[in-house]
Amino acid sequence: MSTIALPGRRRTYLNTDYAIRSWFLTTDHKRIAVLYLVSITLMFLVGGAAATLMRLELLTPDGSLVDSETYNKLFTMHGVVMVWFFLIPSIPNVLGNFLVPLMIGARDLAFPRLNLMSWYIYVVGAAFTLWALVDGGVDTGWTFYTPFSTSASTTNVVTVVVGIFILGFSSILTGMNFIVTIHRLRAPGLTWFRLPLFLWSTYATSVILVLATPVLAVTLLLVAVERVARVGFFDPTLGGDPLLFQNLFWFYSHPAVYIMILPGMGVVSELIAAFARKPVFGYKTVALASVAIAVLGFLVWGHHMFVAGISAHAALMFSVLSYLVAIPSAIKVFNWTATLYRGAITLSTPLLYALGFIGLFTIGGLTGLFLASLGVDVQVHDTYFVVAHFHYIMVGGMVTAFMGGLHYWWPKMTGRMYSETWGRIAAIVIFFGFNLTFFPLYILGYLGMPRRYHIYPPDFQMLNVMSTAGASILAVGYFLPLVYLLASLRSGKRAGDNPWDVTGLEWQTSSPPPKLNFTETPVVSGPPYDFIGRAGRA
Amino acid sequence: MPERTVPVRTCFVVCAVLLVLTGSSVAVAHVDLRGWNTLIALLVAAIQALLVGQFLMHLRWSPPVIRLAAVAGVVWLAILIVGTLDDILTRGWLAVPGK
Amino acid sequence: MIGQRAERGRGALGEQFGTFEQQHQSEELGMWIFLGTEIMLFGGLFTAYTVYRTVYPDGFAEGSRHLDVLYGSVNTAVLILSSLTMSLAVRAAQFGRQRALTWYLLGTALLGVLFLAVKGLEYQKHFAEGMVPGLVWQYVGPLANQVELFLFAYFVMTGLHGLHLGIGVLAVLLFAARARRGGFPAERHAPVEMLGLYWHFVDVVWLFLLPLLYLFGLSS
C-alpha cells in the first residue's frame, strides 16, 4: 500500500502509513502506545461490567441477582482484569510509551522491537484470561490464596494464572525498556535533575516492574504446577504453609500497588506545573521521593498478613515500615500544594483531574495509615474499609491521573483539542460519582460488613444503595470522555505544537509528532518547568 | 579495538579455581561441622559467583550502573528471604498470645 | 517498520541510537536488568526452599541424601568448563575470529547438552526409585511428607534451571550457525557478549543449587 502524500499535508506518525500491517508490525513507540490504549480500554469495559453486576447484586441484602459462586467469580475477574490488564499497563504503557522518548529527546525507546513484543505478550495474556472468564470463570479472588486455589477450587485457575504469568513478561520488558532508555538515550544536556518529574516516576515504576514481577511469575507458576501435578509447596497434606504463598504473593503485589500510583503521581506533577504555571515546588525532593516510594514499597508487604498468623515481631516490623513509606507520598502532596500556592491557575480539565487526585489520594493514603496500625487492622481487615481504601487510591488516584494525563497529552497524541466544556463536565461528574460510590464503603467496613460477600445484614442496605447509585453516576462520567474524545478525532480543533504553552521536549515538536519525533536532536540547557518569561495565558 | 578482553590465562585460572572450590565444598560437606556446613557451602558458592561475575561477566571493568544492576537483584532477593524468615523465626518472641 | 531496519544491514545501528557505543551500552544494561529479573524469578524458589529447610531441617536432610552427589559434582564441573569455553568464545568474537568463535560455541553447546543428559539420567533414576512427586511417589518413612516437599523443590528448581540451560543451548547453536557464516565481525560482537552473560548466569544459579540440594545432610 503506498503512502499518500497529499499536497501540503504534514507526515506524522499517524498518517505515515495506513496499512493494517504497519500498525500490527510497528516498532514506533507512539503507535504501540495507541495499541495499548485501545486494548486497556476494552479490558476496562470487561472489568467494569463485572463491577456493574457486583454493585447491582449488592442493592439487596439477600443475594437475588447472582448466587455465591457466581459472585465469587465476578469479584475475582473484576480484580484480575482491573489490576493486571488495566491499571498496571495504563499510564506506563500508554502515556509512558508515548512520552518517554519524546521527553528525553530520543527517536524511540532503546528496544523498539521488544516494545512491540510487550504488547503482543499483553494480548496473549489477556486472551488466556478472557478465555477463563468465558469458560466458567475463577472463584479464588485476584489474590489466589492457597490452599483454596491449589487444592479446592474447581474453576479455571490454571488458565487465568497462565494468563497473568504471560502478562508479567509484558511488564518486565516494559520496565527494562524504560530503564535503559532513560539511562542511555537522553538528549545532550538532559541531566538527571533536568528530567521532567513524569520520567522520575516512570523510572521508579520501572524498577518495581523489573524486580517484583518475576516473583509473581514464579509464584503463579508454582500454583499452576501444583494444580496440574496435584502436589506442591502449598499442599497442606505435606506440611505446606499457606503463609509462604502469601509472603511470595504480596512481595510482588504490594510493590504492584506502587506501580499503580507512582505513574499517576508523575502525571499530576506535570499537570500541576502546567496549570499553575510554576515549577514544581521542591523538584529534587519530589524526584527522590519517587525513588524512595519504590524502594520502601518493597519492605512492607507483610501488612497484608497482619491477621493471617504471622509473628507479632514481624507484624510490628511491617507496621513501622508501612508508616515510613507514607512519608514520601505525603511529601509529594505538600509539594504539589505548595506549587499551586500563588500560581497562575487555570481550572482546565486536566487540572480538575489533578486536583481530584490530590484530594482523593490523600484520603486513600491516610486510610492506608489506619490500616497500617495493627489494632485498627484487626478490626477492619477483610472489610469494606479496605475496599474503600484501595479504590480511593487506585480509582480516585491512578485512574483520575490517567484521565488527566490523557486529556493533557491528547492534543499531542492526536493533533486535536477535545471539547473543554464536556471535559470539565465529565471530570466533575466522575468526582461526584466516585465519592458517592466509595465513601459509603468506608462506613460499611467500619461497621463490620465483610468484603467478598454478596449477602449482608439488612441494616447495611442504605449505604449499599448509595454506593450503587454512585456507581451509575461514575459509569456515566467515564462514558462521556469515551464519546467526546473519539468525537474530537473527527471534529476537534486542530492543535498546535504547544497548545498549553508549557516547556518540555514533547511540546517542541509537532502535534502529532513525526515518526522519528524530532527533525533534529534537541539540546537541553535549562531546568524543566521553566515558565519565567513566558506570556501568561488568559 | 575491543574494549575489555579478558586474557586467556584469566579465563583458565578462574575456571580452575572454580573447580577447586567445588571440590573443596563437596569434600567439606562430608565432614560433620554442625551448623557451619551450610554457611561454608553457601560462602563458597558466593565466592564462586563473585569470581564469575567479576572476571567472566566483566563486572570488574563495568560502569557503576551495570554493577548496581547486578547487585540490586541480589539485595532484593535478600529482602524477600529476610522478610519471610523474620516471621518464621520470631514466632513466640513477643508476649502476644498465639503469635 | 521492521522491514526498514533490515534494509540497513545486519548488525547496523538501530535508528534510535546515535553511536555503536550507545547501542552496546544499552544492550549491556538491558541484559543485566534481565539477569536481575532472573535472580528474582529463581529467588522465589530459593525463598520457598529456605522456608521449608528452616522448619523441616531433618526432612530436607533426609531428602538430600537421596540425591547422588556424584551426578551433581560432575554436572558442576561440566558447567564450569562450559563457562570456560563460553569465555573463550566471547574473546574470539571480540577479535573477530569467526572460526574460533564457532568452535568455542559448539563446545559450549556440547557441554550444555552433556549437562542435560546427566540430569536426564538422574531424573530417570529418581523415577525408577519412585521418588518423583506428582508422578510416582513410593517413598515411605517417618518424614515422608517433608522428603516429598524436598524432592518437589529439587525438581522445580533443577527443572527451571534446566529449562534456562536448554534455551541457552539453543541460542548458542543458533549463534554458532551465524558465526559460521561470518555473522559476528569484531564491530558486531556485542550479541555474543550478551549470550555469554546469560550463560554465565545460568552457571552461577547451578553453583548455588549444588550446595543447597546436594550437599545437605551428607555428614549425618
Which CATH number is C51's domain given?
Answer: 1.20.120.80
- Domain with C178, as residue range(s), is 44-214
Q: Which of B88, A309, A146, A219 is nearest to C46 (CA)?
A: A219
In this complex, the chains that touch C, judged by 3 or more CB pairs closer than 8 A, are A, B
DSSP state of A96: I
Is C197 within the bounds of a domain?
Answer: yes
Is residue A166 within 8 Å of A125, Cβ to Cβ? yes
Size of interface A-C (CB pairs under 8 A): 125
Q: Is B6 on the interface with C (CB under 8 A)?
A: yes
Question: Rounded to a whole number, what is the distance in Å from the CA of B74 to chain A's nearest CA?
Answer: 10
pLDDT band of residue C8 (cuts 50, 70, 90) is very low
Does residue C8 lie in a domain region? Answer: no
Cα dihedral C90, C95, C101, C105, rounded to 10, equals: 0
Q: Which of B67, B77, B85, B87 to mutate to test the interface with A (most CBs of A within 10 A)?
A: B87
Q: Whole-angstrom Cα distance, residue C32 to residue C200?
A: 12
Q: Which residues contact C140 (CB under 8 A, 6 or more apart)?
A: none
Q: Which of C108, C210, C214, C220 to mutate to test the interface with B (most CBs of B within 10 A)?
A: C210
Chain C CB contacts of B49 below 8 Å: 204, 207-208
Which residues of C are less than 8 Å from A518 in CB distance?
Answer: none
| Spatial CA neighbour of C92 closest among C13, C196, C174, C1 | C196
Residues B56 and B67 in one domain: no
Task: Determine the Cα–Cα distance for residues A368 and A366; give it in Å rounded to an integer.
Answer: 5
Which residues, at least 6 apart from A233, have a Cβ–Cβ distance to it below 8 Å?
A: A222, A226, A240, A244, A245, C48, C52, C149, C152, C153, C156
Both B87 and B69 in one domain: the answer is yes
Q: How far apart are CA A235 and CA A233, in angstroms?
A: 6
C215 contacts B25? CB cut-off 8 A: yes
Instruction: For residue A146, tell me if it sits in a domain.
Output: yes
- Residue B96 pLDDT > 80, yes or no? no
Distance from CA of A470 to the nearest CA of C (A): 41
Give bridge partners of residue A383 from the DSSP assignment: A450
Asked if the structure places residue C205 within a domain, the reply is yes
CATH number for A396? 1.20.210.10
Local structure of residue A194 (DSSP, 8 states): G
Domain that holds residue B49: 1-61
Q: Does C50 touch chain B (CB under 8 A)?
A: yes
Tell me, what's the pLDDT at B92? 79
pLDDT of residue C167: 98
Q: What phi, psi does A455 have (nearest 5°)?
A: -115, 135
Query: What mean pLDDT comes out for the span C186-201?
Result: 94
Pairwise CA distance, residues A535 & B16, whole Å: 70
Q: Which is it for the CA torsion C112, C118, C120, C122, positive or negative?
A: negative
For residue B72, what is the nearest residue in chain A, using CA coordinates? A211
Residues of C in contact with B53 (CB under 8 A): 200, 204
Question: What is the per-residue pLDDT for C5?
Answer: 41
C165 domain-assigned: yes
The answer to whether residue A100 neighbours chain C at the CB level (below 8 Å) is no
Same domain, B36 and B17: yes
CA distances from A188 to A203, A505, A528, B72, C33 (A): 19, 12, 14, 28, 24
Q: Is the pLDDT of residue C183 over 70?
A: yes
Say if residue B56 is in the same domain as residue B8. yes
In a domain, A533, yes or no: no
Total number of domains constituting chain A? 1
Query: Residues 21 to 60 of B: which have CB under 8 A from any C CB?
Result: 22-23, 25-26, 29-33, 37-38, 41-42, 44-45, 48-49, 52-53, 56-58
> Is this prediction's ipTM beyond 0.85?
yes
Domain count, chain B: 2
User: Taking CB atoms and an 8 Å cutoff, what residues of chain A touch C38?
Assistant: 214
Is some CB atom of chain B closer than 8 A to the CB atom of C211? yes
pTM assigned to the model: 0.95
Among chain C residues, the shortest Cα distance to B25 is held by C211
Structural domain count, chain C = 1
Q: Does residue C220 fall inside a structural domain?
A: no
Q: What is the pLDDT of residue A534?
A: 56
Q: Which domain holds residue A406?
A: 20-508
A311 touches chain B (CB under 8 A): yes
Residues 35-54 of C with CB under 8 A from A: 36-38, 40-45, 47-48, 51-52
More confident of the two residues B45 and C217: B45
* Residue-averaged pLDDT of chain A: 95
Contact B65 C87 (CB under 8 A): no
| Shared-domain flag, residues B86 and B48 | no
pLDDT at position B2 is: 46
- Give the residues of chain A that fall short of pLDDT 70: 1-9, 532-538
